[in-house]
């Protein structure tokens, strides 16, 4: 089933419960684009062969606001090794997503925020960089998990 952008904007505005004012069309378009990009990224990550037995602990990468989302995605992207088949495209897509979010925030966020703190799971992986393949694969799986959570909570993107 295909919907026009205007119809999707209207649907998002109708289903945005709890906000005093309706979302601007720009915010809705941004959320739709981020959702589309994140969904595509999760699909690409699902196509990458993961070593059997690789498990990650539940993440506590709760981040709120555009700057936190960008920081988390860039942090994980820097840890992902290019050696796995299909990963260079994933890394490029992550860079495109973070670039889009940075550009959007520059045009829509007037207030300067403090630099967000690095979440614990990302800090832990950054401290184990010498194990490039293991850390890279775990970072890839964490990006997938993080994007899945972000798609469920797109309202986080309304905060700068």
End-to-end CA distance of the chain: 33
- What range defines the domain where residue 29 resides? 25-48+61-158
Would residue 137 count as lying in a domain?
yes
Please give the residue that has the higher pLDDT: either 25 or 54. 25
Per-residue model confidence (pLDDT) at position 159: 85
Nearest by Cα to 141 from 64, 84, 68:
84
Q: How many Å apart are CA 119 and CA 139, to the nearest integer?
A: 13
Average pLDDT of the chain is 79
Residue 59 DSSP code: P
Would residue 2 count as lying in a domain?
no
Tell whether the model's pLDDT for residue 114 goes beyond 80.
Answer: no
Tell whether the model's pLDDT for residue 130 goes beyond 70.
Answer: no
Cβ-Cβ contacts under 8 Å for 27 (sequence gap 6 or more) = 157, 158
pLDDT bracket for residue 89 (50, 70, 90): very high
For the ranges 38-42, 82-86, 105-109, the one whose mean pLDDT is highest:
38-42
Count of helix runs (H) and strand runs (E) in the chain: 6, 0
Nearest by Cα to 142 from 18, 54, 66:
54
How many CB atoms are closer than 10 A to CB 10? Answer: 14
Read off the pLDDT of residues 138-147 as tens digits, 9 standing for 90 and up.
889 999 999 9
User: What is the mean predicted confidence (pLDDT) over 34-59?
Assistant: 84
Whether the CB-CB separation of 150 and 156 falls below 8 Å is answered with: yes
User: What is the mean predicted confidence (pLDDT) over 74-93?
Assistant: 91
User: What is the mean predicted confidence (pLDDT) over 77-96?
Assistant: 91
Would residue 6 count as lying in a domain?
no
Q: How many Å apart are CA 49 and CA 63, to the nearest integer?
A: 28
Would residue 105 count as lying in a domain?
yes
Would residue 128 count as lying in a domain?
yes
Per-residue model confidence (pLDDT) at position 110: 75
Tell whether the model's pLDDT for residue 24 goes beyond 90.
Answer: no
Would residue 18 count as lying in a domain?
no
- Please give the tally of structural domains in the chain: 1
Would residue 5 count as lying in a domain?
no
Would residue 55 count as lying in a domain?
no
């Amino acid at each position: 089933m295909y919907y026009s952008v205007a119809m999707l904007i209207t649907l998002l505005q109708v289903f945005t419960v709890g906000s005093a004012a309706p979302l601007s069309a720009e915010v809705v378009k941004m959320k739709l684009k981020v959702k589309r990009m994140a969904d595509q990224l999760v699909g690409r990550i699902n196509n990458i062969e993961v070593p059997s037995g690789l498990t990650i602990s539940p993440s506590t990468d709760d981040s709120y606001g555009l700057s936190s989302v960008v920081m988390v995605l860039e942090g994980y992207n820097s840890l992902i090794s290019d050696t796995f088949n299909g990963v260079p495209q994933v890394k490029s897509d992550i860079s495109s997503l973070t670039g889009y979010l940075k550009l959007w925030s520059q045009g829509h966020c007037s207030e300067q925020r403090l630099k967000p703190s690095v979440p614990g799971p990302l800090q832990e992986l950054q401290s184990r960089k010498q194990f490039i393949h293991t850390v890279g694969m775990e970072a890839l799986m964490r990006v997938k998990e993080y994007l899945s959570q972000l798609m469920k909570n797109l309202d986080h993107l309304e905060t700068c």
